[in-house]
Amino acid sequence: MTRPPEAVQRWSASDYAKNGRFVPELAGAVFAMLAPKPGECILDLGCGDGTLTAEIRAAGADVLGVDLSDELLAVARMKGLAVQKADGHALDFVQEFDAVFSNAALHWMRAPDLVIAGVARALKPKGRFVGEFGGHGNVAAIASAMRAVGAKRGGDPAKVAPWFFPTVEEYGGLLEAHGFTVREVALVPRPTPLKTGMDGWLMTFGQSFFDQFPEPDRTAALNEALDLLRPSLCDSQGRWTADHVRLRFSAERNA
Ligand code: BEZ
């Protein structure tokens, strides 16, 4: 059996709340595609601190959140949500859910065959899999800057851009191969204003990359990345934008 890849990221709940606030705030379109209904049983895959899990519950559905981060799960539990620790590569639910939802999490799961097989198993026949995550070209400028800094400083290449950002064809093909009918799948460019700046983004989402350098090299590496990115992602007023591209999809498990 294929082994799931090792988790690449440790999450700090406070950093995430401060620098990743845009993640649930910009999830309106995918949430509308999920359209949770009262009484439905829904799995929130990669629920993080449970912000969207709570919205699914507020819509009247019975929702279980799963995530790998103990720290984020603790925050979700404090909100009174039903959550449990689980690796998205090894879901062990069998025909329990009407829908599986995932926002901004699937790009961290680098063996998508294992993930989609587990989602298919977890869904009832005709159940839906609805999600959004980084698609092909996501954070291309940011990843290139990290690659350049890593090459200059002799960083671990495995720590640069350790994400899965597929094309529409690749992800649609994976869904079909696992017994789904794809209803919608699209790449959506979504330049994202960063209220806490690019350093906040890099320290939160690129943490495993920058943490490989002991201080003072870590701060120097961060400043080098910022200098590389400033001409393309920072405007004349000092406002930063992340070059996000989302892959948004809705698929139905075949009966
Ligand atoms: C994203 O939401 O696009 C993203 C998050 C973390 C790392 C890379 C991309």
How do residues 108-147 score in pLDDT, each as one tens digit? Answer: 999 999 999 999 999 999 999 999 999 999 999 999 999 9
Distance CA 82, CA 50 (A): 9
Predicted confidence band of residue 166 (pLDDT cuts 50, 70, 90): very high
Q: Pick from 105, 113, 104, 221: which is nearest to 159 by CA?
A: 221
The confidence score (pLDDT) of residue 243 equals: 95
Predicted confidence band of residue 3 (pLDDT cuts 50, 70, 90): low
- Tens digit of pLDDT for each residue in 174-189? 999 999 999 999 999 9
Residues contacting 6, CB < 8 A, separation 6+: none
Mean pLDDT over each residue of the chain, to the nearest integer = 94
Distance CA 189, CA 84 (A): 32
Q: Which atom of ligand 1 is nearest to the CA of 138?
A: 3
* Mean pLDDT score, 222-230: 98
Residue bearing the CA closest to ligand 1, atom 1: 134
* Residue 51 in this model has a pLDDT that exceeds 80: yes
Distance (angstroms) between ligand 1 centre and the Cα of 125 equals 31
The confidence score (pLDDT) of residue 157 equals: 84
Where are the chain's structural domains? 13-139+164-193+243-253
Please give the torsion angle defined by the CA atoms of residues 242, 247, 131 and 28, in that order, rounded to the nearest 10 degrees.
50
The confidence score (pLDDT) of residue 19 equals: 76
The confidence score (pLDDT) of residue 213 equals: 96
Conformational region of residue 139, where left means phi above 0, alpha means psi within -120 to 50, and beta covers everything else? left
Burial of 165 (C-beta count, 10 Å sphere; 0-12/13-18/19+) = buried
Q: Would you identify the CATH topology of the domain 13-139+164-193+243-253?
A: Rossmann fold (3.40.50)
Residue 66 bridge partners (DSSP):
45, 84
Distance (angstroms) between ligand 1 centre and the Cα of 32 equals 21
Distance (angstroms) between ligand 1 centre and the Cα of 254 equals 30
Please give the torsion angle defined by the CA atoms of residues 115, 116, 118 and 120, in that order, rounded to the nearest 10 degrees.
170
Residue 68: alpha-carbon gap to chain centroid: 12
Least trusted range by pLDDT, from 40-44, 73-77, 157-161, 210-214 = 157-161
* Residue 11 in this model has a pLDDT that exceeds 80: no
* Mean pLDDT score, 142-164: 91
The confidence score (pLDDT) of residue 4 equals: 66
The confidence score (pLDDT) of residue 16 equals: 72
The confidence score (pLDDT) of residue 22 equals: 77
Substitution candidate for ligand 1 out of 138, 144, 204 with most atoms within 8 A of CB: 138
* Mean pLDDT score, 188-214: 93
Residue 15: alpha-carbon gap to chain centroid: 16
Is the CB of 134 within 6 Å of ligand 1?
yes
